[in-house]
Amino acid sequence: MSKVSLNVIALEAGVSKTTASMVLNGKGDQHKINAATQERVKTIAQKLNYRPNQLARSFSQGKTMTIGLIVPNIADSYYSSIALYLEQKLAKSSYQLIIGSTHEDPQKEKDLLLSFIDRRTDGILIASTQKNKTDIEQVQKGGTPVLLFDRHYPNSSLPYVIVDNYHGIKILVDHLFKQGKRAIGYVGLDLDLDAIHERQRGYRENYCDRFNMQTDYIRLINYDNYAQECSIAVKELISQRVSAIIFETHYLTLHGIKALTEEHVRYPEQVCIASYGDHEVFSIFSPYITALEQPARLIAEECAAKILDMIDTKSIHQSVEIKLKPQLIIRNS
């Protein structure tokens, strides 16, 4: 099927090419083109299956109409949800999303940054490994808008949209205490990330310090071998007769449940489970898992709005400091 040109649309509608372009770019009202003419142009374009030349439009606007997204792992349901919502939101402004995963590798992150710069993406959204502060700042200084999300650099002016990780753990501790649980274990990751540090600080200050509880209920495991080490950590906590376990991420929770099942430990009857981060299976398989939901849709909406504004206003050094609240979803675990 041959592609219909803008000239054909204009000719059939009896208007100039410029008028047809204004209408199809949503600028008819702005240029005071009457409603009947706009409707005629749109009807003809739809009938002829007209598709605008995105490349030509990009050149005329000085944009590529693409935004780069860098995440630790696109297979992670949390990041894939954010990517989906971002894609839907950005599409309304005719932007496409280009996605890359770092797998917590700083070099891979650098490579993706360079790749997106080479592609001349109009902006970059990044959940950083937190090892490339200087490189990200250089990208920003080079004129490309950068917005951090989920993770940020505390001692930097780089703009960010994050979740209040410290408060989230406090919510989980408070909930378990209300359930009468006192021996609360914690399984987390030995990762040098601010978000992770904040969750662990939330546990220590709101459980260990606040209630003067012992600190040997915490287990920090290696990210590269988290599946096996999570199982070991859970079995150790069971031997210490904990009454509840907080898991630092939803994927640790999944492996924790597996370990409890293998040890024939019933939850919530013998051990309560609380997950930082929700997962669709937590509300499917019984017993359902109490979880702290990170607002993926809201994160995506805030990120889309801010990066588009930075692109449109060419204000790459905008002061954006957004900290969103997670929501507790109480189930029967």
Least reliable range by pLDDT among 36-50, 89-103, 131-145, 239-253:
36-50
Span 157-167, mean pLDDT? 96
Structure tokens at 60: 């005329």
pLDDT digits (tens, 9 = 90+) for 287-319: 999 999 999 999 999 999 999 999 998 887 878
What is the model's pLDDT at position 155? 84
Contact partners, residue 156, CB within 8 Å, separation at least 6 = 133, 137
DSSP state of 284: T
Q: Is the dihedral of CA 101, 107, 110, 115 positive or negative?
A: negative
pLDDT digits (tens, 9 = 90+) for 26-83: 788 888 999 999 999 999 988 888 876 655 555 456 688 999 999 999 999 999 999 9
User: How many CA atoms, within 13 angstroms, populate the side-chain half-sphere of residue 4?
Assistant: 13
Going from the N-terminus, what domains does the chain have, and what CATH number goes with each? 6-52 (1.10.260.40), 63-163+297-324 (3.40.50.2300), 165-293 (3.40.50.2300)
What is the model's pLDDT at position 100? 97
Higher pLDDT, 22 or 293: 293
Q: What percent of the chain is predicted at pLDDT more than 70?
A: 96
What is the model's pLDDT at position 61? 61
CB-CB contact of 136 with 146 (8 Å):
yes
Q: How confident is the model at residue 1 (pLDDT cuts 50, 70, 90)?
A: very low
Contact partners, residue 30, CB within 8 Å, separation at least 6 = 22
- The whole-angstrom separation of Cα 216 and Cα 131 is 29
DSSP state of 207: I
Rounded to 10 degrees, the C-alpha dihedral 259/263/269/274 comes to -10
Span 130-135, mean pLDDT? 95
What is the model's pLDDT at position 56? 54
pLDDT digits (tens, 9 = 90+) for 177-216: 999 999 999 999 999 999 999 999 999 999 988 878 777 8
What is the model's pLDDT at position 104? 94
Q: Is the dihedral of CA 167, 169, 173, 175 positive or negative?
A: positive
Least reliable range by pLDDT among 87-91, 95-99, 152-156, 320-324:
152-156
Spatial CA neighbour of 55 closest among 66, 47, 45: 66
What is the model's pLDDT at position 34? 92
Q: What is the mean pLDDT of the chain?
A: 92
